[in-house]
Amino acid sequence: DQQVKQNSPSLSVQEGRISILNCDYTNSMFDYFLWYKKYPAEGPTFLISISSIKDKNEDGRFTVFLNKSAKHLSLHIVPSQPGDSAVYFCAASALGFGNEKLTFGTGTRLTIIP
C-alpha cells in the first residue's frame, strides 16, 4: 500500500517556466514532509522540507506548499533551469517517530527543455 504517491512519473517543462511537482499522501499521521532531488548514478540530496504547522516554505527558487485537508503537497520551481533536470522524491514522516519511518514516493522525473 503506497502511502506516499507521486502520480506523475515524468514531467517536461520549458526553461524559464514554472515546474510543479505533486505528491499525495494517505496517512493522516504524517506531519513532516521533505523533497529530495536525485541525478542519475548519484544519491538523492535534500532539497526542502515543510512541517504541518505551515502551509508554505520557500528557499530561493523552490517553494513547497502543503494542503493538509487534501493530503497534498507540491514543489514549485521558478524559474526552471536545465540543472533542475533530475528525479524528485517526496518523503513523509510523523513527528515522534524516527527516520526509519520515513516513507518515500516513487519519484517524478523532471526534464527542463532548453
Partner 1 sequence: DGGITQSPKYLFRKEGQNVTLSCEQNLNHDAMYWYRQDPGQGLRLIYYSQIVNDFQKGDIAEGYSVSREKKESFPLTVTSAQKNPTAFYLCASSSGWDGVSPLHFGNGTRLTVT
Query: Least distance from C-beta 46 to partner 1, angstroms?
Result: 4
Within 27-66, the residues that bind partner 1 by CB under 8 A are 32, 34, 36, 41-46, 49, 51
Residue 6 to residues 26, 60, 87, 88, 104, Cα–Cα distance (Å): 12, 23, 11, 9, 9
Query: Least distance from C-beta 66 to partner 1, angstroms?
Result: 15
The smaller minimum CB distance to partner 1, of residues 96 and 114, is found at: 96
Distance CA 15, CA 103 (A): 31
Distance CA 34, CA 57 (A): 11
Which chain residues interact with partner 1 by CB under 8 A? Answer: 2, 4, 9, 32, 34, 36, 41-46, 49, 51, 89, 93-107
